[in-house]
Every structure is written in structure tokens, then in C-alpha cells.
Structure 1
Amino acid sequence: MAKAIPSDEAFYKKEIGFLLELLVKNKSVGYSGICWGYDFDWEARYTKINAYVPTSVATGIITNSLFESYLIFPNEKIKEIILDAVNFVLKDLNRSYEGDLFCFSYSPVDKQFVLNASLKAARLLSQAYFFNSDPELKKIAKTAVQYVTRVQKENGSWPYAMHDARSWADNYHTGYNLDCIDAYMNLCKDQEFKNEFEKGLQFYITNFFENEEIPKFYDNKIFPIDSTAAAQSLLSLSRFGKLDLAKKVGLWMCNNMQDKNGGFYFRIHKHYKDKTIFMRWNNAWMFAGLSYYLYQNHNKEYENK
């Protein structure tokens, strides 16, 4: 938003500083590097993760947002945080091997093969490599990316996880995968996975948007129409230059899932609309998606001038 609305840059820069301090204050403690988990117990299908147990997902989302802000407002503290978080990935996360390749675990207390979680860890290593050019970080990140590209299906899709019943392909986890693979290729200057990325992106664009505007949850059915899926659509489509489609998705969400108070609803199901307004699942993600679209669109308009 600071770059999309230059007149408000000072305000957003101040907010970034405030949020950075809040994140550091709420880190998980007792681990090898700075990391984060949710502040509540939660049960997944194959594991239970207690409050403040850090995950590759929460840590990867936070460090990615910090890295994005570093590119706009360079800050040595952010650089130090990302380099420190590498120790969490390397020393606390488990690695499940298949041959010479491996998948990073979701958390220190499980050994799941959750693809987007492993890629978020690889992206963090790639961002650290951007700062220190440590070849070992690039090597480890590449091994994790290579595992995910190896299990990619012929049609370009990915299952949510390997070796269990979670074999579906969905919108936002596919977007996560694409974002992370792209980050690895750009930050580590390695285009080896370009074909797999392009195949995945084509699958994403072809299968997750009904009438070129409605963000589908799964590749084979529309419902539920979900705020996080829509927000990730905005992030990925904008990142990869698909601004026209991103605009249509954003407008559809504003016209169909935004309350008059500005908040976005949770989900639209086939026969009813769940108007619950969550801060994290709905609004944090939609704010991120809409603002990233505005940022990329502003850059495009600037380049055209």
C-alpha cells in the first residue's frame, strides 16, 4: 500500500515498524531460531499442535511478509530475523526422505508430507540465500523444491499432501506452491524447475476460476467459495502478471462477499452464505490480496508511462 498510494507512504512505514515489534514480541520460545505458531491449540487430521508450537506455515508466512517489506523499506532487523529463522528450519523441522529428496515437516512434532508447508521452508532458505549467498542454503532449498516438482501430477496439479488421504488439489495451496517455487527460482537464480512451474500455473489458471471471475475452492467444484482462496488468487495472479483476471476476481469478491462495514465474509456454500467475519482467515488475507494487486497494478501503470 505504501507504494500503491505514495502519499500515504509514511503512515504505512510506521505501521510496518509497529507490526514488526509485535511479531518479535509474540515469537515462540525454546527453539533454535526465531519462529511462530498460533496462540491456540488446534487439531489437524493427522496431528495435534499445541498453542505456540511453531510451524513452517506460520513462520514461512511471517518471514515472507517481512522479506516483502524489506524489498520496499530495507531494514537490517528484518534481515537478521530471516537469517535467524533459518536455524528453525534447519535444526527443528523434521525431514522425511524419499531417496535423496525430502519433505520438510509442518512442525517439529510431526513428519507429514504437506507440500506447501515444505515449500514455505524452502522459500525462507531462498530468502536467506538472497542475503548471504550461502551455497548450502540453496542446495537444501533446491532438494525440497525438487521433491515437490517430482510428485507433481501429469496435468500440472499437486495434491495437498503425500502418503495419506489428503490427495485433493485446491486453490490456495496450489497458489502457495507456485509462489514458493517462483521465489526459489528468482532468489537462487535457478530456472531448472521452469517447466514444472509453467505447467502448474497453467493448471491453476485453467481450473480454479469459474467464468473467469469466481475463485473456486477445488479444481473440480466451485463451492465453498472461500475468502482465503480468493485472496491467494489475487496474490498469485498479480505476482505472475495476470492482472486482468486478478481484477475480475477482486471485483467479484467486493460485489458478492464484502459487507457494508468493509469486512469480507467467510464462505459461500451452495445453498447459503456464511457471513462470519474472521480477522485472519477473511480480512487479513483479503487485505493482503487486494493491496498486492494495487501494488502490482501501480507498477504496471508506472512502467507504461
Structure 2
Amino acid sequence: MKLAEKHFATTNELWSAVEKFCVWLDQSEGLSYDPYDVFGTRYGRWARRLYYRKHPLGVITTAPVILMEVVCPGLRALLVNKDRFPTADAQLSLAFLNLYEACQEQPNGNMSGHASEDRSPLSWLIKAKDLANDLLKQSVPGYSGFCWGYPFDWQHVNGLMLKGTPHITATPYCYEVFTRLFDLTGEKHYLEMAHSIAGFVFDDLKDTPTGNNAAASSYTPHDHSKVINASAYRAFVLFDAAQRFQEETYRAKAQKNLQFILQTQRPDGSWLYAIDSPPEAFIDHFHTCFVLKNLHKINCHLQSDEVKRAVQNGYEYYRKALFDGEDNPKTYAVAPRVEIVRLEMYNVAEAITLGILLRNDIPEAFALAKRLATRLITQYQLPSGHWVTRIYRGGIRHTVPFLRWPQSQLFLAVTNLLLALEQSERMANYNSNREDRYPIGAPCATSPVGRRPSQNELNKQSCK
């Protein structure tokens, strides 16, 4: 039976969760461990290489790392150091921009009892800008434009991705940071940085023809993989950049990546993680979210009925196959191996964000997002301010916070919902001519209000 929350989280409750998380984040100084950092050590790479080759010792050599992760994940402090992660910094920056925008939705003078000077609207913008500056320092040199990767070696089923290899699932979040900073501030240098990023995405990633006017994007500049969410991220960046910079060559390449995604959607609405790669022929939760959310963002530009149907069919499958009977996200539609994780919070984060993006087209998706966010802030936020990382079978809670997985995604998801609700409430209050009834609770010192949100504003918000 599916759980029915007595109420959905209010904006005041979401702001409170934000405040708690920000206290912890300030203390962390943006540094954290990572769920895959130990596997990036010499031993970890060797163990995973054996495992992926189906060597008899593969299970034995990876078992100690997995056991450590379940029983005492803090032991990694003896093996690796904390680090900065571009994906996390980008998502945190996007979250702060959400908070900056949410403050603009608040009426003049409406301040919560815990509001303080350092939580003014401008403070959120400053935090976002600081993280954007940090991203520039983390960019990988030697390519056609700004680009980002992991700060550790990553042994995967098809080989080794060395530390600092730029890839297409990290770089688009950075692109969104700079385009949004430009959209909000009008400062031209942010647009120039976004144009540089688009240059990397266009020039340095490879295309593998897959069908009629279709091509798969590579994951990095050094492979010819056919990972579907990689093409979705790339197509999103190139379609957006084509419109911003009037680059028709971007659009042509994006169209081929889009056709690859549409042509690989299966009759039931699902997508495999990758095609022509038997070890990667699985369907999982957050990669499905990546495909759906990027298709939705792409369609904000294209307004294509074909893309809209693909999203609707994909969401129907996703909702049916990737949630349990209590509306908790499942990691796999069909588990490829024995699963020891009962609830992966990364999946929760992506489910919330996806539901918010789809709220105008699939209202049930928004209801699910609000339900999951309510559980997140009431059941899984720890007294220290961060969230549980995952829950294993048997109820064991993993509470070591990893910024790249899933703390930054959860924070972004909560702020996505907060902004959507603040904007919706402003619209409702405007329509009812009762501006004096705005909810009080956001830590925003000053901000303008009192005008009707334009349809363009609402459409843009549903594409963030």
C-alpha cells in the first residue's frame, strides 16, 4: 500500500531544512569524501578490474571495500583525503540561485524569526558566484573550452577513466550555473564562460552514428560509448547553446543526439543505460531521471510533440517499474545482482527534481515530488543538518555525508521545490488579490513582490 502523508512540507518547513543544511555545509567548507574514492585507490582499481573481468577473485577483493562502506564508512579517512567535486559545487551553486530567486518571491518585510543579515537575498547570490569562481579553478585544461571531471581515477566496466578526465555528466551542471548567473545578473562574462563550455561539448566529444540521422555522444573525449544519458546531457547543452549563441551547427549535432535517444526508447517506454554493451544493459532509477529531465529541458526549446510523447511514455514506465509499493524509489527495474541497498537517497533527489520539472505536464509527478520531499526533511535529515546517504537492507543507515552523492542533489531538489512553491503561491496570491496573505518563513531580508509572474517566467522555471 502506498503511503499517504498527512500533509506536504510547507515553504516554512522547507526553509527550515535549508537553514539546517547550510549550517552543516558552512562547517564542511565544501570538502567531503566520496562513495567511490576508495575504489579510486590502487587497491580499489585493481579489485574492480578483477570484478568486471569476472575473475574468481573479483568478489573477494571488492568485498572488504563494500563491507567497510556498510559497517564503518568513516574508516576511509585512513585511506583517502576529502576533496572538492565540480558536480557538487555546480549543484550547490544552482541551489543557491534557487534561494536567491525564491527570496524575490517573498513580499517586502516578510521575514522569519530566524532570518539574519547573512541570509539576505544577496547572500545567496554571493554564495553562488563564489562557487562559480571555484569551478573555473577546477576546470580541466587542454580542451576546446571549460570542462570538468572527477578528482579520482574511476575503474568502470569498459576501462579506466583517469582523474581529471572531463565528461558529459559533470560539465552540463557547470554550464547551467553560468547561463543562469547570466540570466539573473546580466553580467556578460558569465555568458562568455557558458559559450566556452559549449565549445568543449560541441568539439571534443565524439559522435558514433547509430541510425537514420542519429548519433550517440561519447561520455568523454576518449571513448566511443553509447550511454544514453550522456547523449541527453549533450543534446540539452547544445540545443540551449544553439539558441543563446545562434550556432546552427550546435543544433544539427544536438538533433542527431536527440534522435539517438528517441530511437533507443523501448516499446515499454524505458531506456537501457547504454546500447551495444551487454554489461550496461540495465535500467536504473537516476539515469532514467537524467534522460527524462534532459528531454524535458530540450523540449522547452523545441516544443516537439514527439519529444513530449517520449517523456510521457518514459515517465509511465518509470513510475510503474522504478518505485516500490510505498512510493520509495527502487534502484533497478530488474536488479542485475543481489542488492544490499534498500533506499538510495540519490534516487530520491532525482525523483524530486524530475517531478518538479514535469509538474505542468504530469501533475501526479509533482504530487510525488512533494511527497518524497516531505519524507526527506521529516525522516532523513540528521540533527547535524545533512541527510542520510542511504539505507541498507535491515535498516542500517549510512550517515557519512558525501557532497557529490547525494548531499548536493538533495539540497538542489529541496530548493527546486521551494522555488516552485514560492512562485506558485505568488501566482495564487496575485490572482486572489490577497498579497497580504503570503506565507511568512523565508530567511529573506528584502525583495520585490506584487506583480503577476509572466508566463515566460513560469515556463522558464519549469525547465530548470
For this structure pair, what is the TM-score category when the shorter chain's length is used for normalisation?
over 0.9
Partner of residue 279, structure 1: 403
The sequence identity of aligned pairs, in percent, is 23
In the alignment, the residues of structure 2 paired with residue 44 and residue 59 of structure 1 have an alpha-carbon distance, to the nearest angstrom, of: 19
Q: Is the 8 A contact 2:282 2:334 kept in 1?
A: no
- The answer as to 2:414 corresponding to 1:290 is yes
Q: 1:125 aligns to what? A: 238
Q: Structure 2: 5+ residue runs without aligned partners?
A: 1-98, 107-119, 360-364, 430-464
> In the alignment, does 2:354 pair up with 1:236?
yes
- The aligned residue for residue 224 of structure 2 is 111
Per mean C-alpha deviation after superposition, the further-off stretch among 181-190 and 159-168 is 181-190
| Match runs of 1:22-101 below 5 Å | 22-99=134-211, 100-101=213-214
Partners of 1:48 and 1:92 in 2: how far apart? 19
User: Is the 8 Å Cα contact of residues 296 and 358 (structure 2) preserved in structure 1?
Assistant: no
Give CA deviations for 1:228-280 in whole Å, capped at 9, x if unaligned: 11111111101111332111101222333322111112211222322221121
Amino acid at match of 1:122: A
Name the residue aligned to 1:260.
383
Give the aligned partner of residue 245 of structure 1. 368
Higher RCO (CA < 8 A, seq sep 6+): 2
Cα pair distance change 1:4/1:210, threshold 3 Å: farther
The answer to whether the 8 A contact 1:82-1:124 is kept is: no
RMSD of equivalent CA atoms: 2.0
1:78-120 C-alpha deviation (Å, 9 max, x unpaired): 2212211222122211111113311111101211111111211
Equivalent residue number for residue 297 of structure 2: 183
SS for the counterpart of 1:5 is: helix
Counterpart secondary structure, 1:168: coil
Deviates more, 1:244-253 or 1:62-71: 62-71
- Superposition misfits of 4+ residues, deviation over 6 angstroms: none
Partner of 2:282: 168
Shift of residue 65 of structure 1? 3.5
Conserved 8 A contact 1:28-1:52: yes
Paired with 1:201 and 1:81, the residues of 2 have a C-alpha distance of 33
- 1:249 is paired with a residue of what secondary structure? helix
Larger radius of gyration: 2
Q: CA deviation at 1:38?
A: 1.4
Q: Go from structure 1 to structure 2 and tell me whether the alpha carbon gap of 1:67 and 1:207 turns closer, same or farther (over 3 Å shift).
A: farther
Structure 1 contact 129–187 (Cα < 8 Å) conserved: no
How far did residue 213 of structure 1 move?
A: 3.9
| Closer/same/farther in 2, CA of residues 131 and 298 from structure 1, 3 Å limit | same
Query: What does residue 11 of structure 1 align with?
Result: 123
Change (3 A) 1:72 1:156: farther
> AA paired with 1:142?
Q
By how many angstroms is 1:153 displaced? 1.0
Alpha-carbon separation, structure 1, partners of 2:246 and 2:305: 17
SS for the counterpart of 1:186 is: helix
Following the alignment from structure 1 to structure 2, what is the Cα–Cα distance between the partners of residues 295 and 230?
Answer: 18
DSSP-derived class of the 1:160 partner: coil
Give the Cα separation in 1 of the matches to 2:369 and 2:204: 37
Question: TM-score when scaled to structure 1?
Answer: 0.93
Shift of 1:212: 5.7
**What is the distance in 2 between the residues matched to 1:255 and 1:219?**
27
When structure 1 is superposed on structure 2, of 24-33 and 64-73 the one drifting more is: 64-73
The aligned residue for residue 21 of structure 2 is none
User: Structure 1: which 5+ residue stretches go unaligned?
Assistant: none
Deviation at 1:220, TM superposition (A): 4.6
- How many residue pairs get aligned? The number is 305
Matched, 1:149 2:262: yes
Deviation at 1:156, TM superposition (A): 0.7
Aligned amino acid, residue 422 of structure 2: H
Residue identity matched to 1:3: E
- Residues 203/75 of structure 1: CA separation in 2 closer, same or farther (3 Å cut): farther
Moved more, 147-156 or 98-107: 98-107
Does the 8 Å CA contact 1:49/1:109 hold for their aligned counterparts? Answer: no
Q: Within 1, Cα distance between the matches of 2:177 and 2:345? A: 19
| 2:215 partner SS | strand
Pairing 1:140–2:253 present: yes
User: What residue identity is the alignment partner of 2:236?
Assistant: R
Q: Which residue of 2 aligns with 1:209?
A: 323
Moved more, 250-259 or 287-296: 250-259
2:202 counterpart letter in structure 1: L
**Distance (whole Å) between structure 2 residues aligned to residue 155 and residue 119 of structure 1:** 19
Tell me the distance in 1 between the aligned counterparts of 2:181 and 2:316.
Answer: 28
| 2:73 aligned residue | none
